Amino acid sequence: MMPERAILANITCSTTGHPGVGRFSRQGANLELKGVSRQRPDSVLPVSGSLAQATDGGSFTIGADYRGCPSCGADNVVRCSQCRQLACWSSSQPTFHCPSCGRNGPVRGVITAFSTLGGG
């Protein structure tokens, strides 16, 4: 059996604004974040592609080996409720500031879907 292809998505550092690419894999019904690779500022990343969705009531989870944001060390990732972009977030903070659209607010709920990188 061939291993499942990784699911890739843009993740922006909420502290520095550096772009990153998150690598996810399916773990049962969940989409698990395995790691994020930092990209150079002003990198041209592929446009959003399809929608990756957890199945059967699953959600987005953080892998046990995830080492945090490569730019600031934040331990988690959220999706902005306004612009729908993924960004890192320190779970010790009660609120999140979106580096893409500037929205501030409390973190709540779970991520069940997000846009993947296009081009493949």
Contact 45, 21 (CB under 8 A): yes
Query: CB-hemisphere CA count at 13 Å for 89?
Result: 23
Residue 11 inside a domain? The answer is: yes
- Of residues 39, 5, 1, 3, the one with CA closest to residue 23: 5
Residue 75 inside a domain? The answer is: yes
How does DSSP assign 4-25, residue by residue? PPPEEEEEE-TTT--EEEEEEE
pLDDT exceeds cutoff 60 at 119: no
The span from the CA of 63 to the CA of 24, in Å, is 9
Residue 49 inside a domain? The answer is: yes
Contact 64, 32 (CB under 8 A): no
Q: Please give the helix or strand (H or E) that residue 52 lies within, else none.
A: strand 48-53
The span from the CA of 88 to the CA of 57, in Å, is 23
Looking at residue 2, its pLDDT comes to 47
Residue 20 inside a domain? The answer is: yes
pLDDT digits (tens, 9 = 90+) for 57-111: 778 899 999 999 999 999 999 999 999 999 999 999 999 999 999 999 999 988 8
Residue 1 inside a domain? The answer is: no
| pTM to 2 decimal places | 0.82
Residue 105 inside a domain? The answer is: yes
Residue 81 inside a domain? The answer is: yes
Tally of domains within the chain: 1
Residue 82 belongs to what domain range? 7-117
pLDDT digits (tens, 9 = 90+) for 18-39: 999 999 998 888 889 999 999 8
Looking at residue 56, its pLDDT comes to 63
pLDDT exceeds cutoff 80 at 42: no
